[in-house]
Structure 1
């Protein structure tokens, strides 16, 4: 199933239609990705490409009897109390230099837990401690999604490659859904015609295949982004 838009939120809205609410679990750093592949709690596979940052409780898809919504997992955070604007300014400057995603509140700053950051903030005079919490409202730095170790022979990390793999899976899921919808729109003849061309189909002048590859030159060369 493809999720292309957010239609509501099970936390801020009340629904009386009797549908079963089914969660799709997200890590906090996945919520701003342009597209990714996920599996809901009931085993339904999704290609997620809603075009904006996903919030906890956002409704991503519905069927006749189910409503699928985003559940952002909680995780360990570093909570760093601050008492003055000067402390806040210095802390945010130091964390900014470390390219950390963060959440700024009146009397504290929250960042995802990692041991070096915990020790560093102690070293510069703050009193950090670990809490369990969610990530709504965080200013997310792309570098988190690309964390990991550098893959030899590339300028990418293991996190970068994992993100690319998820995007490719989402693209393939989207291609399969598009091919299926196209076949239904044009009847069995269109379906057989697609089979004859290995599942190729055209959308806005771009030729697509069910494996997620696409071509801008009529099928002479194929690639993914």
Structure 2
């Protein structure tokens, strides 16, 4: 099986080296080791040194040097909006307190669909809509440290009662 051991970020992708595309949802874009099947039929073993996120437009470098470009698959999401930016920030706090992945836009927050979160957000006065689009959540605050080979472990010291 063809192995892929590195990720080429979107800005550095050489279009001439792309031999296939692969469409992945958010969960499958956050991997270290997995067998994948690209849209055009290329089977490959993604075998990274450490867990990483494949972003829309990135490419996976095959052992041969060729690239398989990554596309973010559309997913069922909750779009959260309010009429007031302070209200949206308050909703972001509530979402963060539940430790769920979120994509933050200037005037909206996007979350993976969950009926419990949907009910909570509507109860807090959010305007919500179910949409289907690629999910690009914000990476964790310590992501850049992990990329450098070390991480900062901590405990939250609070409860979710």
TM-score using structure 2 length: 0.70
Match of 2:106 in 1: 106
- Cα distance in 1, alignment partners of residues 7 and 42 from structure 2: 17
Q: 1:20 to 1:88 in 2, by over 3 A?
A: closer
- Residue 41 of structure 1 aligns to a residue whose secondary structure is coil
Which one has a larger percent helix, Structure 1 or Structure 2?
A: 1
| SS in structure 2 at match of 1:33 | strand
1:28 paired with 2:26, answer yes
Tell me: higher relative CO, structure 1 or 2? Use CA pairs within 8 A at least 6 residues apart.
Answer: 2
The structure in which a higher percent of residues are strand is: 2
Q: How many residues align?
A: 137
In structure 2, C-alpha distance between the alignment counterparts of 1:2 and 1:76, rounded to whole Å: 31
**Which has the higher Rg, Structure 1 or Structure 2?**
1
Which residue number in structure 2 is paired with residue 125 of structure 1? 125
Which blocks of at least 5 consecutive residues in structure 2 are unaligned? 141-161
- Tell whether the 8 Å contact from 2:32 to 2:47 is kept in structure 1 after alignment: yes
Question: Over the residues paired in the alignment, what is the CA RMSD in angstroms?
Answer: 2.7
Gaps of 5+ in 1: 142-225
Q: Secondary structure at the match of 1:139?
A: coil
Q: Secondary structure at the match of 1:119?
A: helix
Secondary structure of 2:44's match? strand
Shift of 1:20: 5.8
Aligned to 1:189: none
